[in-house]
A and B are shown apart, each in its own frame.
Chain A
């Protein structure tokens, strides 16, 4: 491999390759360090917050530790190189633990570390810095084993410091888990904490174990086990990556695609360390190039989709706000209509009453012409009162203030009474009103009698309005098997197109051919009828074979069977 060109001490090179595979050594250090550094750099660039900065610091120190550890392994570059890098390993490790804890604190709390904790951390780090520069940790370099000789009594201090940070992180995790009430926040903090703790424990256990083994002389190649300590970092990154994707930590979006591409490129790039064969190197280079191109387009595409999704989210939020505003306006309108209608109803009742009394001669015999005028006033006032009642009902329905008094009654009887009441009006218009019933189970329903009566009045009145001549047939019948009670109102009127059928129960909607039969109306009767029936667990439908072919309205209620 290319590194062999830089060998200064051949003896140490031979010694190293007898201990461990060079490829494994590099592969265990560099890709993970590079991935951690790129991950944290990406987060820092995107987020620019204190936790992001501290994550970057942790990963940067980890990367330095990996590079320096490799330097310590590469004794073939010269003892001075090995001693320089080795002398800083403990210091870097302690610094990394401190930044790791600092990151966890700021990430979980959203606050900076308290001053006393910073000073305590620094107080723990400073002795390690002193030990590093005083060479107390590695007093001598052994040319026989191409390794620095560690002084256990000083390096043990490093382990104490690391253990303190692990303990602090553990206690902090428990404290935060108990303190946080929000489940999402709790899980987010817990996952990040577990990641940090796994990273700490892997690193600490491997270093501690190796130092103990080296001191006890039980094995010669004890430093080989150090590489297992580095496995904690990718696990930490996986946990953090999940937190980023799942909980949008650091406010990162589209992180998944970018992380995937970077990871893929890092993995392919790492293959270079395992081969010196030109064809294989070429193949890896081509694969890497293609992965870069593919990754670029993938990230670009995801970026576009994320942008579109954000726009849609913004639009949806705007629509929600507009909808809320409209609801408020609609409620205000209903309240206004309700108040206005109440104000109108009282004078209308007086006008209607006095006009009727005048027409009936309660104030003395009136000339025929005046009597007719009084009758018209009474009719108009009656029509106006009915319109006002419709407006009031709509207001009540929309405000959710409509009150229902439920009881069991015979729908057949109510229908028959309504038909009888309206028969005279129908006859005046020259219409024939027919009523039939076919009930096997008593035609009992559970509903509000008054409202049901009003519904029947509205529907039959509607049929009469749109039927210039012919018959209106009202049939009350039940279906015991389906447990349903029906009232069908069939007319021979103007009928409806398919388009009108779909919107006939909407507010202020009148059939397009309504004017042909010279009908006046508010367009609220059917709307009120439908809403009332639905509130009483029933259903109203309208059918017509087309314009000029009459219409059929059906009311459906659950049947009460004894």
Chain B
């Protein structure tokens, strides 16, 4: 193989690789939206055990209100989830692609507290 052919082959290989990676990711993220989203959603402490931000924690607070955690595939996520405006969000109907996590000792992270159920 001549030097020129070697160079052209190499540059074309790189170009093909770039196009393939771009195309795959475009289809995966842009078209299919096949990626998980993680979000907080509003939670009713009178009905569920909600997360609350520990006031003594130095962590940045995205939510000052009680919240539940949502893991959902982007394709199934409602618009209100992006804007954090959903009320009483549930995964009913899309259980295979969505999970709502309420507060418990097992899932509690640093800087968080579980709200006390109000009956």
Contacts and interface: CB of A to CB of B under 8 A. Distances in A.
Interface stretch (B13-21, B42-50, B98-106): B13-21
A144 B35 CA distance: 16
Interface in B56-99: 59-60, 62-63, 71, 74, 81-84
A144 B62 CA distance: 7
Contact of A11 (B7, B10, B35, B83): B83
A88 B37 contact: no
A80 B21 contact: no
Nearest to B83: A11
B13 A140 contact: no
Interface string A80-122: 1101100110010001000000000000000010010010001
A141 B84 CA distance: 14
A356 interface: no
Nearest to B18: A95
A469 to B, nearest CB: 88
B76 to A, nearest CB: 13
Contact of B36 (A9, A140, A144): A140
Contacts of A140: 35-38, 71
A95 B35 CA distance: 25
A56 to B, nearest CB: 11
B74 A79 contact: yes
Given A79-B82, A143-B81, A84 B36 contact: no
A330 to B, nearest CB: 49
B116 interface: no
Contacts of A122: 10, 13-14
B67 to A, nearest CB: 9
A84 B82 CA distance: 17
A10 interface: yes
Contacts of A142: 37-39
A223 to B, nearest CB: 14
A149 B38 contact: yes
Interface string A123-158: 001100100110100011111110001000000000
B29 A80 contact: yes
Interface string B22-47: 10111011100101111110000000
B3 interface: yes
Contacts of A88: 21-22, 25
Contact of A91 (B21, B33, B38): B21
B29 A87 contact: yes
A91 B21 CA distance: 9
Contacts of A129: 17, 21
Contacts of B37: 79, 140-143
B7 A141 contact: no
A118 B26 CA distance: 27
Nearest to B26: A84
A260 B39 CA distance: 49
A361 B53 CA distance: 143
Contacts of A9: 82-83
Given A88-B21, A141-B74, A133 B36 contact: no
A427 B69 CA distance: 133
A126 B13 CA distance: 11
A220 interface: yes
Contact of B28 (A8, A81, A115, A135): A135
Contacts of A133: 21, 24-25, 28
Given A9-B83, A80-B29, A50 B14 contact: no
B30 A81 contact: yes
A84 B24 CA distance: 10
A141 B35 contact: yes
Given A141-B35, A144-B40, 4 more contacts: A11-B84, A133-B25, A140-B37, A142-B37
5 contacts: A9-B82, A79-B82, A95-B14, A112-B6, A144-B62
